[in-house]
Amino acid sequence: MNNQNPIPPIPPQVPPPIPPVMPASGPRSLGDDPAERAAIPNIIVAIEAILRQPRRVMFQLRQPGAGWLIAAMLFVSVLCSLMYGVVAGTFSGGTQLWAAPVKIAAGLMISALICLPSLYIFTCLGGSQARLVEVSGLLAGLLMLMTILLIGFAPVAWIFSQSTESLAWMGTLHLIFWFIATVFGLRFLETGFSHSNARSLTGFRTWVVIFMLVALQMTTALRPILGTSKTFLPTEKKFFVAHWGDCLKGHDEASKSESQ
């Protein structure tokens, strides 16, 4: 049969592009993902980023002009800790409605300031290449994440504040919330340092213990945050373990006298 109409060749199908092979070992470097390189223009984006894209925050802290981001994070931390302080102050009411927020915000900032030099030293000793500005920024990130989470706990804290009269119980509850929030904040900080070519995180982990102790002692140094007092600050110096022991003893005695 005559083939007057030659069959045109079937054009070869263009195969789909093969996606690049991701390196099997090692974490991705900061900035590899284009989403991480997007600038953080305002506070709301900073809050969203620290929850959903922490690597973006870490990357932006390394860029020139990170100062405004650090200032924004500190501003959010102060604001959120003031708000949480109001919730904590509703337990006792009265002057605690303004004293508790001031003490919580100031205590947090002062604790961070006290611990910042040792954080820089310990991370340098661990081989981290992070500069002081970046270290300050990561610490500000920790504070922001901590205080944002405390705002998340605020409704729960408020419910309990309105329904219980036990100082020891409310103190324990606030400490538990603070601890959980701090764990997430420290996770952010540790991840930040793991991207700074640190050879070892042992020094950082030692610093974590120091930071927790300073923060716990600050709650005692600025007491009362719950409860009432004639003076704004305590007249007697105490370490936090002794103070907790005294509070628990007082709680036990109150329970025994109630049951009698």
* Contact letters for other proteins, residues 69-108 (x by CB under 8 A): ----------------------------------------
Binding of other proteins by 221 (CB under 8 A)? yes
Q: Which residues contact 107 (CB under 8 A, 6 or more apart)?
A: 215, 218, 219, 221, 222
Q: Rounded to an integer, what distance in angstroms lies between the CA atom of residue 235 and that of residue 158? A: 29
163 lies in the binding site for other proteins (CB under 8 A): yes
- CB 146 within 8 Å of CB 186: no
CB 163 to other proteins: min, Å: 5
- In the complex with other proteins, which residue's Cβ is closer, 98 or 129? 129
Q: Which of 166, 191, 194, 229 binds other proteins (CB under 8 A)?
A: 166
Out of 237, 256, 257, 260, name the contact with other proteins by CB under 8 A: 237
Contact positions with other proteins (CB under 8 A) in 12-31: 13
- Per-residue tokens: 177: 């919330």
Interface region with other proteins, contact rule CB under 8 A, candidates 26-34, 61-69, 86-94, 113-121: 113-121
Minimum separation from the CB atom of position 166 to other proteins (A): 6
Using CB under 8 A, pick the residue from 59, 91, 120, 178 that binds other proteins.
120
Give the interface segment with other proteins, choosing from 34-42, 59-67, 79-87, 119-127 (CB under 8 A): 119-127
Quote the least distance from Cβ 199 to other proteins, whole Å: 9
Residues that bind other proteins (CB under 8 A): 5, 7-8, 10, 13, 51-52, 113-115, 117-118, 120-121, 124-125, 127-129, 131-132, 148-149, 151-156, 159-160, 162-166, 169, 184, 210, 214, 217, 220-221, 236-239, 255
